[in-house]
């Protein structure tokens, strides 16, 4: 399967990492060949990928948010759970995994992947059905971070069980009455963070698989944050407020 990747940073990451096979490379003939675009053209030349300069209208038909270029590549390759464990072992830090329960908005999905990669998480687990897959829109929204972290597509309950079997603790982000205000001191050791869908939150069975349900206290007049913002905050609370090498208190 082939797909088009657009957006200068996403294209740059894929070219830099050689994470996909390359096919065609289109560039707007009117684009200024400087900055990141100049770097991309240089990388493409090194990879022996010829740039085809075309009218902007032709790029618009691929993606209206193309930023002056489009790279045709092979489809995204999902990882498996072993890749997450291997990444954890190589880092010398305890397992740190993000579980996404039916996230469907590509922008939220991409933002959470980028946060997970930036925070040094070892992998992202998504369900096999009813959630957004790693589409070109998700790659674009993540600014290429999809190529930097293992993303596993599997039954979410099975993935959470694998973390439990490894001695991990799982925290679910939930806005309901069952949840308690988050305590960053409890976010150490082998940890899984679960973020629910934009509308429904966590599914009942997913909630049951969590060891603890937490919420972010809303001090102001806003009742809630969207999934990407709330999930990103919880991820960084675990990084900044607790030594990731310690056991959970």
pLDDT, tens digit (0-9, with 9 covering 90-100), for 110-148: 999 999 999 999 999 999 977 778 999 999 999 999 999
Do both 170 and 69 map to the same domain?
Answer: no
pLDDT tens figures, 22-35: 999 999 999 999 99
Query: Do 202 and 230 meet the contact criterion of CB atoms below 8 Å apart?
Result: no
What SS3 class is residue 135?
coil
Residue 219 belongs to some domain of the structure: yes
Residue 148 falls inside a structural domain:
yes
94 located within any domain: yes
Whole-angstrom CA distances from 233 to 10, 56, 217, 225, 237 are 23, 38, 12, 10, 6
In a domain, 249, yes or no: no
Q: Are 174 and 209 contacting, i.e. CB atoms less than 8 angstroms apart?
A: no
* 54 plus 176 within the same structural domain: no
Long-range contacts of 111-115 (CB under 8 A, 24+ apart): 111/141, 111/142, 111/228, 111/232, 112/195, 112/227, 112/228, 112/231, 112/232, 113/138, 113/142, 113/145, 113/146, 113/149, 113/151, 114/141, 114/142, 114/143, 114/145, 115/228, 115/231, 115/232, 115/235, 115/236
Q: Do residue 67 and residue 85 come from a single domain?
A: no
Strands (E) in 55-168, as ranges, are 69-74, 96-101, 123-126, 151-153
Which residues, in sequence order, are CB contacts of 146 under 8 Å at separation 6+? 76, 110, 113, 134, 138, 139
Mean pLDDT of 56-79: 95
Say how many Å lie between the first and final Cα of the chain, rounded.
46
The pair of three-digit structure tokens given for residue 244, joined into one six-digit string = 């990731």
Q: How far is CA 26 from CA 9, 11, 65, 71, 146, in A?
A: 15, 11, 14, 6, 22
Mean pLDDT along residues 151-162: 97
Calculate mean pLDDT across residues 175-192: 85
**131, 215: one domain:** yes
Question: Both 8 and 52 in a single domain?
Answer: yes
Q: Which among 106-110, 221-225, 226-230 has the top mean pLDDT? A: 106-110
Q: Are strands 212-215 and 180-181 parallel, antiparallel or unpaired?
A: parallel
Query: Among residues 50, 74, 98, which one ends one of the domains?
Result: 74
**Is 58 domain-assigned?**
yes
Name the average pLDDT for the chain.
91
Answer whether residue 245 is part of any domain: no
Structural domain count, the chain? 2
CATH number, domain of 12, equals 3.30.1330.30
Rounded CA gap, 182 and 242, in Å?
13
Structure tokens at 29: 């003939």
The whole-number pLDDT of residue 219 equals 77
Last residue of a domain, one of 33, 48, 74: 74
**112 and 219 part of one domain:** yes
Give the residue from 48, 74, 100 where a domain finishes: 74
- CATH number of residue 178's parent domain: 3.40.1280.10
Lowest mean pLDDT among 18-27, 28-37, 209-218: 209-218
> Which of the four pLDDT bands, split at 50, 70 and 90, describes residue 226?
confident
The verdict on 135 and 226 lying in the same domain is yes
Same domain, residue pair 209 and 175: yes
pLDDT at 48: 95
**Containing structural domain, residue 14:** 2-74
Do 140 and 94 lie in one domain? The reply is: yes
Distance CA 147, CA 151 (A): 9
- The answer on 117 and 69 residing in a single domain is no
- Measured in whole angstroms, the distance separating CA 109 from the mean position of its chain's CA atoms is 6
């Amino acid at each position: 399967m082939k797909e088009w990747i657009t957006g200068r940073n996403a294209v740059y990451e894929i070219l830099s990492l050689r994470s996909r096979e390359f096919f065609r490379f289109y560039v707007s003939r009117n684009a200024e060949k400087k900055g990141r675009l100049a770097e991309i053209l240089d990388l493409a030349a090194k990879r022996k990928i010829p740039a085809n300069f075309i009218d902007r209208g032709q790029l618009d038909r691929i993606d209206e948010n193309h930023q002056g270029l489009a790279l045709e590549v092979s489809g995204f390759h999902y990882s498996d759970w072993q890749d997450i464990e291997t990444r954890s072992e190589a880092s010398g830090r305890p397992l740190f995994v993000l579980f996404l329960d039916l996230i469907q908005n590509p922008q939220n999905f991409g933002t959470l992947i980028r946060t997970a990669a930036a925070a040094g998480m070892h992998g992202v687990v998504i369900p096999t059905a009813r959630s957004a897959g790693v589409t070109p829109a998700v790659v674009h929204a993540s600014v290429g971070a999809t190529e930097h972290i293992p993303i596993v597509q599997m039954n979410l309950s099975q993935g959470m069980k694998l973390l439990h079997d490894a001695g991990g603790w799982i925290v679910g982000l939930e806005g309901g009455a069952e949840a308690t205000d988050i305590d960053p001191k409890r976010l150490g050791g082998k940890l899984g963070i679960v973020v629910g869908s934009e509308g429904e939150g966590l599914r009942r069975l997913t909630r049951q698989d969590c060891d603890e349900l937490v919420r972010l206290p809303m001090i102001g007049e806003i009742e809630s944050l969207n999934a990407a913002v709330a999930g990103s905050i919880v991820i960084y609370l675990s990084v900044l407020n607790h030594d990731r090498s310690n056991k959970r208190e």
